Every structure is written in structure tokens, then in C-alpha cells.
């Protein structure tokens, strides 16, 4: 498998090179030159095979021999070493719970896969790899956990000060070892812009071996397909509908929904996709009008989706050969306000006892809106983070305290350690540059 740059001005790269570089030399995102085609036999086997066997078969074409089969099998097994259940909420709405991993967020899947791939590749390199990543909340914790203690890799995480939840902040500021958190006085878009500028800076490129662990990196983005396959396996076993499921994805940087669309493009029988957004709704506006205009992100209670210029949307456009009409046939958008998000958490808990986090609530309301207009359809939401990561809004909505999961209880006894910096590329560059 070869990958080309979507900026169209860089040589093709294999999976190893694309993973190590993060972005192409022309600063474009890497994209597979050819998409695998899932065989009918493989699709028919999905209800019977294990998730590890499924994951190996899905990922092998993308890795393209860059990692031996035995090592790749170990990587996918460790990546998926936790439950990913499809939980019914209503007769026509289920929740794919992606928060049972070590950091209680969907990004554990991509971060664990990438960290293990990069750990394998680092053995053949002389230099220390510096992973530079911006986070709006969950990426930082997942990357920190995934890369903690990986030999030959240093991780630097930029996060917006005061704009991540307490649990999220503790997850990315209490690791120590090879993990450093930079607390930026700005927004996630500021953090992302600084990271992008770092990859374009010749001084840093000469001094450091930089790569990214955001979903711009193919090793972070591609494995996110796997839980769509797992969901489909469960859908066939438990769903009341024989039609392909409608999928509502809480969307910020659009790597998650892009991975699902990729799975659909390669042959997984999935139905309509909904890009469920908060008021940072650049893509829903585009889908409604045909006009794409990035904006300055506005803070919301679903903070991991506070993105005004989603990096991965260019990959979605490439998937659909830049056809607006083709894209509209497969995906629609919805915008959910903070007030409606909080009300949804309250109402769903009162009616069903199910507790949504703010991001899952955005997805739930968008799916609820869709099935009201299409009463013969059924589907599921991606519940991307545990509600305990957002205690203030969730507890106010359900009327009682949340139970703290065992895997995060030790965080509250640890000391937060971060480096506070202004939202300035020069300040971050000065900090990154070797003495």
C-alpha cells in the first residue's frame, strides 16, 4: 500500500514512512492510493469471526507489509483489548460505547494502534522521535497513555488552558516519563495551528525528528474503522432492523466519521451518516449550502468538538472525488446547541436511565431528529467518552453524582504538571528547540 499527499506535491510513501512523517513533506495529509475492496465472503463471515481476526484482516492491506503479520496481529490484539459494546437505548437507537478503554475515550483505539506501530518502527531508527500533538480533550489523554514509556519516543501535547475537563486534564498532565503537556493560553484551533506551523518550520525539522499523533496521521486515523466493523458485527446479532444502520457521529476534527465513511466505501454495509455538531458547524453548513468557510471555534459544553477548521474534511472530499452531490447522498449534518444538549442528557436519563456525555448527547439528538423524519430507519450513536469526563454538565442534568470508574480514581491523587505558554508559535518553538 502506497499513500499520496492530498496536496499533490510530494512523493508517495509506504505505511511506515507515512506514519513516521505524520504529514507529507508538502504538508498535505496522506491518503491511500487505492482503497481495499472487502470481499462478500469476508462481510458474510463478520458475525462469526473474532474482533481480533476481523481487525487484522481490515488493517493488513493498509499496513502493506511494513509490519510482519505476527507483529500486526499482536498490535491489533493490544489495540482492542477492552469491550466495545453496542447498547440499546430505544428500539431504534443504540449506543456504541467507545469509552471502556484505559482513558475512557474513543481515541484509545487509534492512539494504541499508532503507538505500537511507531514503537515497532522506532527500533530501526537512530534518532528519538518527538510526537507533537494538539488536543481538544480526549486525544491528549489517549496519546499520553498509548505512548507512555515507549522507548525512543518523546511526546509533547498542546492543550487549551481551561477548555478541557478536569479528568481530561489530569490524564494528560500526570503521566511524567516521556510525556510533557504544554498548557496553551488559547483555543484548540490555536494549538492545532501551532502544531501545523511546527511541521513547516525548517529549524525544528533540522533539530527534531517530528511526527504527529493527531488523526492527520494515517496510523491514528485508519484504525478508527475497526469499531464500525465491531458495531456491525453486533448490529447483525441484536438489531430489530434488517436495514443497514444509520450512524450519528459527534464530529469535531472529522477523523472519526471519515474512518466510518472509509469503511463504508470499501464495502462495509453501513447506512446513512450524520455529522452531529455543536455550534461549530462548518461542515453541516457546507452540506446545507455548498459553501465551505472555516470559522473561529466557539467554546461549548461538548468541548472536544470545538473545531472551526476540521483537518480531516479534505479526506472526506477525496473519498467522494470532491463531488458535493455524491457526499450529500451519504452524509447529512445537524447542529445541536448547548441548551438542547443538556436537555437531551436530562430527558434520555429520565426516560431510559441511560447517561449520555455531552458529545454523545449531540449525536443522540441528531439521530433522534433523523429517525423522526425517516421512521423506518434505525441506527446507533458513537458514545465517544465516559460521562465522568464531564461531571459538571452531566451531574446537573441527571440530578446526582456520577460514580468514578476505577481506572481514573488514582488520577485525583496525582499532581498536575504542565508548561504554561502563550498561544504563540514562537513561544512553543523556543521551548521545543534543543538547548
Neighbour-count burial for 18-54, b at 16+ CB within 10 Å, e otherwise: bbbbbbbeeebbbbbeeebebeeebeeebeeeebbeb
d(CA 299, CA 283): 17
C-alpha dihedral, 387 to 393 to 399 to 404, nearest 10°: 30
Helix, strand or coil, per DSSP, at residue 435: coil
Helix, strand or coil, per DSSP, at residue 420: strand
**Which grid coordinates belong to 251?**
464530529
The DSSP line for 63-74 is HTTSS-HHHHHH
Rg for the chain, CA atoms, rounded: 20
* Nearest Cα to Cα of residue 161 among 399, 418, 410, 364: 418
Contact 230, 380 (CB under 8 A): no
Mark whether 414 is an active-site residue. Answer: no
d(CA 404, CA 409): 6
d(CA 276, CA 257): 10
CA distances from 47 to 51, 269, 272 (A): 10, 13, 21
d(CA 16, CA 19): 5
* Nearest Cα to Cα of residue 158 among 199, 186, 128: 186
Give the DSSP letter of residue 403.
P
d(CA 249, CA 258): 10
C-alpha dihedral, 66 to 129 to 136 to 350, nearest 10°: 50
Instruction: List Cβ neighbours of 371 (8 Å cut-off, separation of 6 or more).
Output: 92, 93, 246, 377, 378, 379
DSSP E strands in 187-240: the ranges are 209-212
The most distant pair of C-alpha atoms in the chain lies apart, rounded to whole Å, by 63
Active-site residue (options: 107, 163, 264, 365): 107
- Catalytic residue list: 107
Amino acid at each position: 500500500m502506497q499513500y499520496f499527499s492530498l496536496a499533490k506535491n510530494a512523493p508517495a510513501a509506504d505505511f511506515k514512512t507515512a506514519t513516521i512523517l505524520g504529514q507529507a513533506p508538502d504538508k498535505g495529509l496522506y491518503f491511500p492510493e487505492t482503497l481495499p475492496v472487502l470481499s462478500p465472503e469476508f462481510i458474510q463471515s463478520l458475525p462469526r469471526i473474532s474482533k481480533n481476526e476481523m481487525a487484522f484482516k481490515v488493517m493488513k492491506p493498509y499496513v502493506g507489509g511494513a509490519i510482519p503479520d505476527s507483529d500486526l496481529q499482536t498490535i491489533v490484539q493490544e489495540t482492542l483489548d477492552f469491550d466495545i459494546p453496542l447498547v440499546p437505548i430505544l428500539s431504534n437507537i443504540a449506543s456504541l460505547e467507545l469509552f471502556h478503554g484505559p482513558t475512557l475515550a474513543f481515541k484509545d483505539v487509534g492512539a494504541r494502534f499508532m503507538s505500537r506501530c511507531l514503537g515497532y518502527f522506532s527500533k530501526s531508527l537512530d534518532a528519538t522521535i518527538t510526537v507533537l500533538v494538539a488536543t481538544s480533550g480526549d486525544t491528549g489523554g489517549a496519546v499520553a497513555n498509548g505512548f507512555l514509556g515507549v522507548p525512543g519516543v518523546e511526546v509533547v501535547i498542546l492543550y487549551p488552558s481551561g477548555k478541557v475537563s478536569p479528568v481530561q486534564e489530569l490524564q494528560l498532565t500526570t503521566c511524567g516519563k516521556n510525556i510533557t503537556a504544554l498548557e496553551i493560553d488559547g483555543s484548540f484551533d490555536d494549538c492545532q495551528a501551532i502544531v501545523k506551523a511546527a511541521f513547516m518550520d525548517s529549524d525544528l525539522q533540522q533539530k527534531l525528528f517530528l511526527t504527529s499523533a493527531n488523526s492527520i496521521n494515517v496510523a491514528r486515523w485508519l484504525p478508527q474503522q475497526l469499531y464500525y466493523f465491531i458495531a456491525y458485527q453486533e448490529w447483525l446479532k441484536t438489531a430489530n432492523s434488517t436495514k443497514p444502520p444509520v450512524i450519528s457521529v459527534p464530529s469535531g476534527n472529522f477523523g472519526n466519521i471519515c474512518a466510518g465513511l472509509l469503511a463504508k466505501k470499501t464495502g462495509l454495509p453501513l447506512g446513512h451518516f450524520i455529522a452531529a455538531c455543536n455550534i461549530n458547524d462548518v461542515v453541516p453548513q457546507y452540506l446545507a449550502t455548498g459553501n465551505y468557510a472555516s470559522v473561529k471555534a466557539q467554546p461549548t459544553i461538548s468541548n472536544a468538538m470545538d473545531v472551526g477548521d476540521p483537518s480531516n474534511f479534505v479526506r472526506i472530499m477525496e473519498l467522494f472525488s470532491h463531488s458535493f452531490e455524491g457526499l450529500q447522498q451519504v452524509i447529512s449534518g445537524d447542529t445541536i446547541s448547548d441548551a438542547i444538549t443538556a436537555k437531551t442528557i436530562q430527558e434520555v436519563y429520565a426516560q431510559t436511565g441511560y447517561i449520555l456525555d455531552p458529545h454523545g448527547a449531540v449525536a443522540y439528538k441528531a439521530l433522534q431528529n433523523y429517525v423522526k423524519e425517516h421512521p423506518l430507519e434505525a441506527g446507533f450513536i458513537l458514545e465517544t467518552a465516559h460521562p465522568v469526563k464531564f461531571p459538571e454538565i452531566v451531574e446537573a442534568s441527571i440530578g446526582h453524582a456520577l460514580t468514578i470508574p476505577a481506572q481514573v480514581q488514582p488520577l485525583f491523587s496525582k499532581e498536575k504538571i504542565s508548561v504554561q505558554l502563550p498561544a504563540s508559535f514562537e513561544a512553543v518553538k523556543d521551548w521545543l528547540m534543543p538547548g
